[in-house]
Each structure stands twice: as structure tokens, then as C-alpha cells.
Structure 1
Amino acid sequence: MPPTDPLVQRVKASLARAPRLEEKRMFGGVTFMVRGKMCVSVGKGRIMCRIDPALHDAALKRKGARTVVMKGREYRGWVYVAAAAVKTKRELDYWVRLSLDFNKQAKASG
């Protein structure tokens, strides 16, 4: 996933005002860190959002959303969203806003 990919650029623009924004190559794509914590990652055909686990079930009701599963384990608070479900600015901003809202209280990984 090159940093010049249109979806990467759209996510970057949506996060432009986020404090301490960093861009890193992770998860086979481009990951945006806010305040030193993973916020949104862009991969082939999808974004991955770190959201409040308390909002997880409600978020899955949105078009194109599914729980992140790695090595057979489901991760509450981590959601894949299909690129087709974030075609408009409004759709993308919804997920970015959820991720930014949780980022304020999230603990840093590692």
C-alpha cells in the first residue's frame, strides 16, 4: 500500500488536525499514529480502526464493518471497514472520529 494511494491520502487529510500525527508502514499498509498510539491503518481494500470497545457491537452494524481477527482471535475495539463503505467524506469521517475519540483514552500498545 503506497503512501500515495487515494485512500491513504483521504485518511491523512481527515486526520490532518490530529495532535502528534505520525505515519508508519505497518500491517501491510500505512498506519496513522496519534499521540503515539495506533489510530487508523489503511490496507488493501480496507481501513482498520481502533475504537472504544464499548461501541464495538454498534459499530459492526454499519455497512462494510467487521471485527479484526488475527490468528483466530477476535479483537474487540478493532474494526476493519471495507473501502467501499467509506467512499464519501462523511462515511470516512465517521470512522476517523470514532478512532480519534477513543485515542484520547487508549493505552499505548507495547
Structure 2
Amino acid sequence: MAFDEDLADRVRELVAHESGFAERRMFGGVAMLLGGNMAVVVRGKGGLMVRVDSAAAESLRSEPGVEATVMRGRPLRGWLTVDASACATDAALEEWVDRGVTFTRGLPPK
């Protein structure tokens, strides 16, 4: 399954102005990076992967359409998978992208 180009364009609009922005194809989708660190990924399976503070991840998982990101059978600490339905509106998408960008801005550049 190819990633959702429309969703990728919407995410790009929200992050392209950020300092150190780059994008790279990975995980069957496209990752949006800031300073070499992934902030948000438009997944090949649909929806997003969003990087968040590990301490906040548990409470955010209680939101509809949100779950821990699992790769190779293991949860990825500090990452959430957000179903396409949970980021369908512009406001919801902006909120999720902002979470990823805000957390990633605090990381040292690679």
C-alpha cells in the first residue's frame, strides 16, 4: 500500500517552514525530519506515526484512534500511531503534527 499523498502534502504544509526540515522515504511512507530527527511519519499503512515525550505517551494513547507504535513485535518508546480518522480534520492534524514538532525541537540535531 502506498502512503497517502494528500495526507503527506497536508503534513508538509505544517512543517516545511521549520528550521532544519527534511523529508525521507521510510517505513513505506514519508518521514518529516527536523535537524535530522524524525518528528512525524506519514505511514504506508495509513495514518501517522508521531514522536512524543515518553511520559505523555500513555495519556495520549487514551485518545480515539491512537495506539502505541509497534515494530517487529515491540512497542517503540516515545512513538504513537495515529489512525487516519483521528487526524482527518485540519485542526486534529495540526495538533498531532505540533506534538511531534514540539518534542523533536527539543532534541539535539544529528
Question: Which residues of structure 2 form unaligned runs of 5+?
Answer: none
Tell me: CA distance 1:61–1:75, structure 2 relative to 1, closer, same or farther (3 Å): same
C-alpha separation in 2, matches of 1:76 and 1:59? 13
User: What is the SS of the residue equivalent to 1:49?
Assistant: strand
Question: Which residues of structure 1 form unaligned runs of 5+?
Answer: none
User: What is the SS of the residue equivalent to 1:17?
Assistant: coil
C-alpha separation in 2, matches of 1:54 and 1:5? 31
**TM-score computed with the length of structure 2 as normaliser:** 0.89
Q: CA deviation at 1:48?
A: 0.5
**1:1-110 mapped onto 2 (5 Å cutoff):** 1=2, 5-43=5-43, 44-106=45-107
The alignment's C-alpha RMSD in Å is 1.7
C-alpha separation in 1, matches of 2:7 and 2:32? 12
Q: CA deviation at 1:107?
A: 5.1
C-alpha separation in 2, matches of 1:5 and 1:90? 19
1:29-49 Cα deviation digits (max 9, x unpaired): 111111110111101321101
**TM-score computed with the length of structure 1 as normaliser:** 0.89
C-alpha separation in 2, matches of 1:78 and 1:31? 13
Show structure 1 runs of 4+ deviating over 3 A.
none
User: What is the SS of the residue equivalent to 1:24?
Assistant: strand
Q: CA deviation at 1:61?
A: 1.3
